[in-house]
Amino acid sequence: MIVCFDIGGTTIKGALAEDPQHITPVPRIPTPANDFDAFVAALKSVIDQSPEAVRCVSISIAGFQHPRTGLGVVANIPCLHGRPMQKDLVAALGLPVIIANDADCFAIAEAECGAGKGHHVVFGIILGTGVGGGLVIDGQLINSRGGYAGEWGHGPVAATQAGNPPVSLPRFHCGCGLDGCLDATCGARGLEKIHKHIHNKDLSAEDILSLWLEQDPLASRTIDVFLDILSAPLAMIVNTTAATIIPVGGGLSNVPALIAAIDKAVRGQMLVDPETPLVVPAQNRLEPGLVGATILGLRQIT
């Protein structure tokens, strides 16, 4: 038995797991983001619910461990930020602890038992509030020793001319401190910023997509620009990594027509069009963070 967690800035999702197909969630609890002792106590409250001995704790988290220092980079959980969190959690819990980025857990879940099963190179991406990703090669996370490989959402690469005909765009400021990141431009909030910039109208991403599906001309123009910005960097990643499948999670993945449009736009900008779907909806629709954490935890103890 292992205990797995999917931890965000406001909520801790915990579960008891025997394998990826047998995960028993427990009620969610608030994240004590500013108090390390309370954070440890919250994890222990889940561990104590196990009916048998726990062999390890595996955590999916919205952050990462610095590959050189081992210190946590977890902006939304201050009590972990700048702390040697794996070392401290092992000492506090008295159990082996595995920690992985939430997008990496999503990617390994899709590679092991989702849309990426059977593929040698899987690049799993998150299109939610922002943009994230994880890279799995031959079943292994590329950054299994820590780091942020696969975080294609950050870096000043978003186009400032996009769409047909091209429209000028600013480099939207990103929470990481840079300007022009895909995270600030191509997630749900970015889609809203694009629409506001082009049409001077405040609409939610959900409303923009609904109008696009109804062939509304303003929403269609916004999606045209959005696809142009998103597809070129994604095609470059495919050319660089030789990924043969790109499962998509996050809120925007709930619109099949959008995923199909992204797939068409990406394949149109590759060196060689695979002529079969490349960008596809994720298959692990429920709790991929827990599934990925379970896979990584079980690998640790076997």
What is residue 70's predicted lDDT score, i.e. its pLDDT?
A: 87
Question: Which residues of the chain register pLDDT less than 70?
Answer: none
pLDDT for residue 19 = 84
Residue 186: predicted pLDDT: 97
Q: Are residues 152 and 85 in the same domain?
A: no
Same domain, 275 and 146: yes
For the chain, where are the E strands, in sequence order? 2-7, 11-19, 22-25, 29-30, 57-61, 64-65, 72-73, 97-101, 121-127, 131-137, 140-141, 161-162, 167-168, 246-249, 279-281
Same domain, 152 and 271: yes
Domain holding 47, by residue range, is 2-100+286-301
240 in the same domain as 176: yes
Is residue 290 in some structural domain?
Answer: yes
Q: What local confidence, expressed as pLDDT, does residue 259 receive?
A: 98
Has residue 32 been placed in a domain? yes
Query: Is the Cβ–Cβ distance between 38 and 30 less than 8 Å?
Result: no
pLDDT in tens, 106-130: 999 999 999 999 999 999 999 999 9
Q: Is there a single domain that holds both residue 143 and residue 43? A: no
Q: What is the pLDDT of residue 285?
A: 83
CATH number at residue 42: 3.30.420.40
In a domain, 108, yes or no: no
Q: Is residue 106 part of a domain?
A: no
Q: What is the pLDDT of residue 137?
A: 96
What pLDDT shows up at residue 233? 96
Domain identity same for 192 and 78 = no
